[in-house]
Chains A and B, each alone.
Chain A
Amino acid sequence: MNRALLMAVGALLVASCALGAPARRDVLLATTTSFQDSGLLDVLAADFEKRTGYHLRSTAVGTGAALAIGARGDADVVFVHAPEEELKFMDAGSGGRRVLVMHNDFVLVGPPGDPARIKGRDAITAFKTIAAAQATFISRGDNSGTDIFEQGLWRRAGISPSGAWYVQAATGMGQTLQIASEKNAYTLADRGTFLARRAGLRLEILVQRDPPLINVYHVITVNPQRYPKTNTAGANAFADYLVSPETQRLIGAFGVDKYGEQLFVPDAGKNESGLL
């Protein structure tokens, strides 16, 4: 029987090796779900592999988790959208390079009847109005970039939302929109996901194109001095790839054929405070 066990363990090892240990051409990326859910990640990953020969292994987990993975040195590079959290990450010495790549914007959506009457207002006033009216608001509540962004807007409105009208869904963007639609509620969504899901929802855009709603994406390489195991060459190759003119064109054109609207605005080389 021992012989059989030995054989089984041997087979396990052989099979593991046959599946292929990844080589150094792999770059490990931790990123946000909105990047994957919009479909842009898949497009850029395939193009990156074609142009540089690096294979992108990406995990889409939400900005909070992506930064935590990067801070442990469990990824080579992170691509996220929560500038305040990113600066904490840099201050802690976890990051190497931090480069502005692109932005998209959030939209405040709600039932077509607009019971709290927020249509056409600026974002901060709209948030105050929703809270005053105690109109149902669905929050992501999952520490994602969108969730962190929403919390920032409430802070700027001087409100700490709580009560029966404020629902924490703890789920992804698509699901959250679905819930808002079913419950005749307001929610904050990134434009890309909302456009992708619009057909099946009884929601419309009520507040948009306001500077506080700009959502900025940065690529950050993980500090190689702190984590010598990281693939620094690969991480830098990905950061350089994202801001190259060809990629920036690709980002700007993404989604236009499908939604008739640009989803992401390429921003390489621009100043973050000068957007919109």
Chain B
Amino acid sequence: MELIAQGIAEAIQRLVTLDPDVRDAASASLVVSGSATALAVLSGIPLGTYLGLARFRGRSFFLSLVNTGMGLPPVAVGLFVAILVWRSGPLGGLDWYCTRPAMVTAQYLLAAPTVIGLTAVAIQSVDPMLRLQLLALGATRWQLAMLLVQETRLLLLTAVMAGFGAVISEIGASLMVGCNVKGDTRILTTAIALDTSKGEFGSAIALAVILLVLVFAINAVTTWAQQRPRPA
């Protein structure tokens, strides 16, 4: 009990004084997971829209692949990316081991299937009559896609937030490819694990509080988007 009280007191002090270690880890988390999510959205929403609308052979197989990807174990992705970017690996020339680009790559692989999968579901949830109507009004396929994305934008926001939520609290892959370098690849989750093994529970709790606040904010936005009365 004493440990918890001490830890929380130290956590508050570190948060109020904006402790540089805490600030660095929080900003590294936001930059890395933000970049990975941005890339996942840029590629995932077009791809998900395509999968939601198009009808082609092997489509359901492809959707199954995407759905499997939504549950990819982070350590497996971490191992895979590490093997790729080690100097002895196929992408060794990039020299990305223990760098942020390697972390962004791993987190992108974790976030992208979620964004693709949820986008496809969102696009398919649109009343088929609306689609027919739009086509009858002379919309090109490109215009149709844009209109449907606009129509489902709240659901797509959920997809984006789900992708971000999956990577911001992830540790396995980020530790394996990023290595937890102080002031660079040390993010909230890897810093929490390190401080715990060092016995620095106050700092660990401070970092955990920030991570919880971030995750809460994500869920608050998502819930707000889902519960908002739909415009007529």
- Interface positions of A (Cβ within 8 A of B): 1, 4-5, 7-9, 11-12, 15-16, 19-22, 26, 28, 33, 36-39, 42, 45-46, 55-60, 69, 72-74, 172-175, 193, 196-197, 199-200, 227, 229-230
Contacts and interface: CB of A to CB of B under 8 A. Distances in A.
B199 A174 contact: yes
B181 interface: yes
A19 B181 contact: no
B171 to A, nearest CB: 14
A60 B180 contact: yes
B101 A74 contact: no
B35 interface: yes
B198 A39 contact: yes
Contact of A196 (B104, B185, B198): B198
Interface string B39-73: 10011001101100000000000000000000000
B50 A57 contact: no
Given A19-B35, A175-B197, A28 B98 contact: yes
Nearest to B196: A174
A42 B203 CA distance: 15
A58 B87 contact: no
A1 B46 contact: yes
Contacts of B86: 69, 72, 74
Listed from nearest, the 6 A-B pairs whose CB atoms lie closest are A8-B43, A59-B179, A4-B46, A57-B98, A174-B197, A197-B199
A27 to B, nearest CB: 10
B199 A58 contact: no
Interface of B: 3, 35, 38-39, 42-43, 46-47, 49-50, 86-88, 92, 94-101, 104-105, 108, 141-142, 145, 179-185, 194, 196-199
B199 A15 contact: no
A4 B51 CA distance: 13
Contacts of B43: 5, 8-9, 11-12
B179 A1 contact: no
Given A12-B42, A57-B179, A60-B180, A37 B47 contact: no
A255 to B, nearest CB: 12
Contacts of A7: 42, 46
A232 to B, nearest CB: 13
A104 B182 CA distance: 23
Nearest to B36: A15
Contact of A16 (B98, B101, B184): B101
Contacts of A36: 180, 194
B194 A57 contact: no
Contacts of B3: 200
A57 B186 CA distance: 11
A193 B198 CA distance: 7
B198 A58 contact: no
A173 B88 CA distance: 30
B87 A73 contact: yes
